Amino acid sequence: MTRKRVVVIEGEDAAPEAVRPALAVIDALGLPIEWLHPPVGQAGIERTGSPFPEEARRAIDTADATLFGATSGKSALALFYLRWGKGTYANVRPVRHFPGARSPLARPEGIDLVIVRENLEDLYVAAEGDLADLAPLGLRSLTAGRPVHELGPGRFALKVITEAGTRRVARFAFELARRRRAHGRPGRVTCGTKHNMLPRSDGMFREVAQAVAAEHPDVPFQSLIVDDLAHRLVATPHDFDVVLLPNLYGDVLSDAAAALVGGLGLAPSGCFGDGAAYFEPAHGTAPDLAGKNAINPTATLLSAAMLLEHLGFADAAARLEAAVAAVYAEGRVLTPDQGGTATTTQFCEAVAHALG
């Protein structure tokens, strides 16, 4: 089997404490994977004077994938490169309940949905300015009934939705729904937008999703207003399979949905583009846990399982997920966020042990 090369970017605060023992767990699987550790963030600054040196960029460009911890700033340039530089437009965030994980719901068993978040557009084009800059455009607020620049002094942020950007992520979501159906899941897509207030931007996202739905007549499709979707995600999470969202709603709702199944400590993600993919827990760097060996590494382990699947090691990915599930089911070695007293490394050792 050909050797795979994976860049590892540990990130800041407590994130490296989850990444390092997670790599040890993967190593125990005995796969032909070479980990590359280019200097990024603080290490990059110390070694080269830059938090994201050319060497790190080249490593990402030539590797098969990247595993990212989490960043509170110093590794942000690397994260931006992994998203916008590599065009990873589909952010896949599984929300699955493992029996034994702490949920605020009475019956979380069986929750198994995936958020597909558009990863590059929307408010994340991060183009902001002063309202006064808009005066030459004479752009009118539909609700206020007068030019936007007259609403200030103040600021604006642009929400940008493109047809091509929406079509590719919508197609990704429908293809994922088909693959899930092949594995016994319902295989349907729910799209969430605020098309009632934003008929041109969110409205177009919805129309493109509807057009892509027509290309996939075998995949049931539903379009909801995003606040209704938010309510239903909490009230009836079992009804959902693949949830397609523009970037910011996807960011917000993926954290909310994670809370249903045990919290951010269990929420993995994988970001996919045409020629690139990277994997990272959906959570931040947990600075309050830094240096305590207490961060829950499950999100990192499950992100690594998505990485393994992407690299073609599907059996190993399934084994890793089953081992994580076994540790939760047994309930003896859990981290403090799950009501346990285990350290991060003890949890990872329990997972390695469950791998057999």
* Residues involved in catalysis: 124, 194, 227, 251, 255
Q: Which of 251, 280, 321, 349 binds Mg ion (CB under 5 A)?
A: 251
Nearer to Mg ion, 33 or 70 (CB): 70
Binding partner of residue 349 among Mg ion, ligand IPM, none, CB cut-off 5 to 8 Å per kind: none
Kindly determine how many residues on this chain lie close enough to bind ligand IPM according to the rule CB under 6 A. 2
Nearer to ligand IPM, 282 or 295 (CB): 282
Using the contact rule CB under 5 A, the part of the chain among 80-88, 119-127, 246-254, 271-279 near Mg ion is 246-254
Nearer to ligand IPM, 166 or 223 (CB): 166
Q: Which of 251, 309, 337, 349 binds ligand IPM (CB under 6 A)?
A: 251
Kindly determine how many residues on this chain lie close enough to bind Mg ion according to the rule CB under 5 A. 1
Residue 48 C-beta: closest distance to Mg ion, Å: 29
Residue 282 C-beta: closest distance to ligand IPM, Å: 5
Residue 263 C-beta: closest distance to Mg ion, Å: 13
Tokens 């603080």 locate to: 42
Binding partner of residue 309 among ligand IPM, Mg ion, none, CB cut-off 5 to 8 Å per kind: none
Nearer to ligand IPM, 202 or 251 (CB): 251
Binding partner of residue 13 among ligand IPM, Mg ion, none, CB cut-off 5 to 8 Å per kind: none
Nearer to Mg ion, 156 or 249 (CB): 249
Residue 283 C-beta: closest distance to ligand IPM, Å: 8
Binding partner of residue 64 among ligand IPM, Mg ion, none, CB cut-off 5 to 8 Å per kind: none
CA-nearest of 66, 97, 74 to 270 is 66
Calpha distance 288→294 (Å, rounded): 10
29 binds ligand IPM (CB under 6 A): no
What residue is closest to ligand IPM based on CB?
251
Tokens of 305: 């399982």
Q: Which parts of 258-297 interact with ligand IPM (CB under 6 A)?
A: 282
Residues near ligand IPM (CB under 6 A)? 251, 282
Residues near Mg ion (CB under 5 A)? 251
